Amino acid sequence: MSEEASVCPSAPGPSTPLKESYTYHSPTPTAKGPYILGVDEAGRGPVLGPLVYGIAYCPASYKEKMEELGFADSKTLNAETRSGLLDILSSDPPNLGWSAISSGMLRRPPTNLNRQSEDATILLIREILAKGIELSEVYVDALGTTTTYEKYLSSLFPSIHFTVATKADSKFKIVGAASVAAKVTRDACVEGWHFEERDGKEDCPWSSELGSGYPSELDRDFTDPNTQAWLKTAIDPVFGFPKIVRFSWTTVKVILDKSAHKVKWTDEGQASLIKAFEGGKGLDKGRCAVTRDLHIKSIDTL
Domain boundaries, the chain: 22-192, 216-259
Q: Which residue has the higher pLDDT, 159 or 50?
A: 159
pLDDT above 70: percentage of residues in the chain? 79
With b for 16 or more beta-carbon neighbours within 10 A and e for fewer, the 147-178 pattern comes to: eebbeebeeeeeebebbbbeebbbebbbbbbb
Give the CA distances from residue 45 to residues 3, 74, 187, in Å, rounded to whole numbers and listed in that order.
Answer: 23, 15, 13
Q: Residues forming the annotated binding site for a divalent metal cation?
A: 40-41, 141
Q: Is 50 exceeded by the pLDDT of residue 103?
A: yes
Which of 16-20, 290-294, 298-302 shows the lowest mean pLDDT across its residues?
298-302
pLDDT of residue 105: 52
Mean pLDDT of all residues in 169-192? 93
CATH 3.30.420.10 at 22-192, yes or no = yes
pLDDT of residue 223: 67
Mean pLDDT of all residues in 268-286? 64
pLDDT of residue 274: 64
Q: Is 80 exceeded by the pLDDT of residue 191?
A: yes
Side-chain half-sphere CA neighbours of 4 within 13 A: 22
Q: Is this prediction's pTM over 0.85?
A: no
- Count of CB atoms within 10 A of residue 258's CB? 9
Q: Which residue has the higher pLDDT, 4 or 127?
A: 127
- Quick one: pLDDT band at residue 224, thresholds 50, 70, 90? confident
pLDDT in tens, 35-56: 999 999 998 888 888 899 999 9
Average pLDDT of the chain to the nearest whole number: 84
Which of 36-40, 108-112, 190-194 shows the lowest mean pLDDT across its residues?
108-112
Determine the Cα–Cα distance for residues 114 and 141; give it in Å rounded to an integer: 12
Q: Is 70 exceeded by the pLDDT of residue 196?
A: yes
Q: Residues forming the annotated binding site?
A: 40-41, 141
Q: Which residue has the higher pLDDT, 160 or 221?
A: 160
Q: Is 90 exceeded by the pLDDT of residue 287?
A: no
Mean pLDDT of all residues in 157-182? 96
DSSP 8-state assignment for residue 129: H
- Count of CB atoms within 10 A of residue 15's CB? 7
